[in-house]
Amino acid sequence: MLKGRHLIEPMDFTVEELETIFKTADGIIENPEKYSEVCKNKLLATLFYEPSTRTRFSFESAMLRLGGKVIGFPEPNSSSVAKGESIADTIRTIACYADIAVMRHPKEGAPYIASQYSDIPVINAGDGGHQHPTQTLTDLLTIRKYKGNLKNLKIGVCGDLKFGRTVHSLIKAMSRYENTEIYMISPEELKIPDYIKEEVLIKKGVKYHEAKTIEEAAPELDILYMTRVQRERFFNEEDYIRLKDTYILNKEKIKYSKKDMIILHPLPRVNEIAYEIDDDPRACYFQQAKMGMYVRMALIANLLGVL
Amino acid sequence: MMTVNSIKNGVVIDHIKAGNAMKLFKYMNLEKTEYRIAMIMNVSSNKKDKKDIIKIENGIDIEYEELVLIDPEITINIIENEKVVKKIKPQLPETVINVIECKNPRCVTSIEKYVDNIFYLSDRENKVYRCKYCDEKHTVGE
């Protein structure tokens, strides 16, 4: 039962519950008209304590396409938060007006606090460098749509594996599916944290490989998941400049890849995927953004229990 | 040779890592009690090079469960009529509230002071707890 639940971290839902959401998303993709009024008279509150236009638009368009309405603030200076109101008080007030809330916050764990004080479902839309569960749902729905299912897949994750929360969440989420194999492609400085290896991969018996270049892993992969090397994660500008161009994907590097491999990226990209890849039929990152909207529609509808 | 008399009834906290006795003493607020207490430090030990021991006469009402979060190797001996009647090796609790403080400056508990500091046990073998809010790691004894 998903009605009334919160989504704070990707593992909050079981594999079966996720499948319920994905099946709703399948239905929406197939016949969006059928769902265009299901949230009529429902209100979504978007509480963005730091700006994230892309994520906010995705949630707002999801709610509007379900026939619902949206209230909220796009950054904290325009709200009572600027006057020093606590998260607990803000959510308790918002819960009087809205039916469901989406929260983005720079502090890790803020949406969890909100969920503890809220009578309405709270969705975490990113809390600092910690969790971004709807990105994980987006990734899973995209993989499921383009690969047919979520089992027996070889996934290459490339770029910033040290700080990249989307990659950590994706690895955790995929570790729950049968015969997942993970290829981790990164420079030494941005390797996956040990705890992901120890507490997820080793504990769950997931087969994994580490590679220094895209080329050595690419021929094996069913999915290549690229990430951005973010400037703000570095203390030192020189380190950033030295590493940012290390893992740029171009046609040459996937010359020997499978014809049905898919290339994903959480977006926005800077330069880690060359524009020449955009025309490759394996590039799925813009479709992935669309899947993000569909999965958010499916999530909102299930949490509100309107289906 | 220093001699400390044995106690008739009470508790002996044994196998304390050398140097940790004072931490335990403070955590239990023993200075505010009226128990007769002996704190013995840097004793030779078979298991370790050195250990500390705390003896608390009649102090059987003290909560010992959380002490393991400060020193995971301790043993609690319950003494009655000068004999050890029970030996307890405390286990790490699944959840601890307001014992460990999150050190992650990005954690929401650094700004929202009204919430409890909650840590959950994520790896019993390696004695690793994680913050319920931000997953910051805390290894017991480090």
Q: Model pTM?
A: 0.88
pLDDT at position A237, please? 84
For residue A105, the chain B residues in CB contact (below 8 A) are 108
pLDDT at position B133, please? 96
Q: Which residue of B has its CA nearest to A8?
A: B133
Distance from CA of B93 to the nearest CA of A (A): 19
Q: How far apart are CA A82 and CA B25, in angstroms?
A: 43
- pLDDT of B65 over the 90 cut: no
Put simply, the chain B residues between 85 and 124 with a CB less than 8 A from any chain A CB are: 104, 106-112, 114-115, 122-123
- pLDDT digits (tens), chain A, 307 positions: 999 999 999 999 999 999 999 999 999 999 999 999 999 999 999 999 999 999 999 999 999 999 999 999 888 876 667 678 999 999 999 999 999 999 999 999 999 999 999 999 999 999 988 999 999 999 999 999 999 999 999 999 999 898 888 999 999 999 999 999 999 998 887 899 888 898 899 999 999 999 988 999 999 999 999 998 777 666 788 877 877 766 889 999 999 999 999 999 999 888 899 999 999 999 999 999 999 999 999 999 999 999 9
Identify from A86, A89, A108 which residue to disrupt to test chain B contact, counting B C-beta atoms within 10 A and taking the largest count.
Answer: A108
pLDDT digits (tens, 9 = 90+) for B18-31: 999 999 999 888 88
pLDDT at position A226, please? 97
pLDDT at position A233, please? 64
Q: What is the ipTM, given to two decimal places? A: 0.86
Mean of the per-residue pLDDT values of chain B: 89
Closest C-alpha to A129, from A150, A106, A158: A106
Given an 8 Å threshold on Cβ–Cβ distance, is B106 in contact with A128?
yes
Q: How far apart are CA A303 and CA B92, in angstroms?
A: 36
Q: How far apart are CA A288 and CA B63, in angstroms?
A: 54
Q: How far apart are CA A44 and CA A57, in angstroms?
A: 12
pLDDT at position A228, please? 83
**Nearest Cβ partner for B133 among A88, A109, A195:** A109
Given an 8 Å threshold on Cβ–Cβ distance, is B122 in contact with A113?
no
Number of cross-chain residue pairs from A and B with Cβ atoms under 8 Å apart:
50
Residues in a beta bridge with A82: none
Beta strands in chain A (DSSP E): 43-48, 69-73, 100-105, 122-127, 154-158, 181-185, 207-211, 223-226, 262-264
Coil, strand or helix at A200:
helix
**Pick from A281-290, B55-64, B97-106: least confident:** B55-64
> What is the pLDDT confidence band of residue B2, given thresholds at 50, 70 and 90?
low
Given an 8 Å threshold on Cβ–Cβ distance, is B110 in contact with A195?
no
pLDDT at position A290, please? 97
Given an 8 Å threshold on Cβ–Cβ distance, is B135 in contact with A113?
no
**Nearest Cβ partner for A108 among B123, B134, B137:** B134
Which domains are seen in chain B, by residue range? 10-88 (3.30.70.140), 95-139 (2.30.30.20)
For residue B125, the chain A residues in CB contact (below 8 A) are none
Closest C-alpha to A47, from A4, A3, A89, A2: A89
Q: How far apart are CA A211 and CA A188, in angstroms?
A: 10
Are B9 and B42 within 8 A, CB to CB? no
pLDDT at position A188, please? 80
The residue whose two tokens read 């040290």 is A162
Which domains are seen in chain A, by residue range? 10-131+292-304 (3.40.50.1370), 134-289 (3.40.50.1370)
For residue A109, the chain B residues in CB contact (below 8 A) are 107-109, 131-134
